[in-house]
């Protein structure tokens, strides 16, 4: 299961639109990091609107991916988390910490631009 990662000028956009196995999630993480390195993108927006389950494993992958993107000198924003998914994570004590989030793709891109500007 390959998740497409699109390059849009200096940023990357990706949308997780299918239910990922743990292996898929790890592959996605590796792909994101590789793309950030290869394209020297300034940041990435990861859209999770379609995800209806984010368990502790997936939450960890998202957290890790965002922080690894940062260590590569880029910014990461996760957008579109459904309210029920956010609620479930809070109830489990696993909210995404230290990750920039936005409600939808449009605001995600705006936020990413802002973060990139702040970094420069």
Please, which residue, 9 or 91, has the CB nearer to other proteins?
91
In the sheet that holds 43-47, the strands lie side by side as 5-8, 11-15, 43-47, 75-79, 100-102
Question: Among residues 52 and 67, whose Cβ is nearest to other proteins?
Answer: 52
Structure tokens at 118: 């702040």
The binding site for other proteins (CB under 8 A) comprises 19-23, 52-57, 60, 82-85, 87-88, 91-94
**Residues in Cβ contact with 59 at an 8 Å cutoff, skipping those fewer than 6 apart:** 89, 94, 95, 96
Cβ proximity to other proteins: between 74 and 99 the closer is: 99
């Amino acid at each position: 299961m390959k998740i497409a990662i699109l390059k849009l000028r200096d940023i990357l956009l990706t949308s997780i639109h299918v239910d990922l196995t743990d292996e898929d999630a790890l592959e996605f993480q590796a792909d994101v990091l590789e793309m950030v390195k290869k394209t020297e993108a300034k940041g990435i927006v990861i859209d999770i609107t379609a995800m209806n389950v984010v368990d502790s494993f997936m939450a960890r992958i998202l957290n890790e991916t965002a922080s690894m993107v940062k260590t590569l000198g880029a910014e990461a924003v996760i957008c579109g988390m459904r309210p029920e998914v956010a609620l479930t994570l809070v109830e489990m004590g696993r909210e995404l910490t230290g990750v920039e989030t936005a409600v939808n793709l449009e605001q995600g891109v705006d936020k990413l631009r802002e973060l990139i500007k702040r970094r420069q």
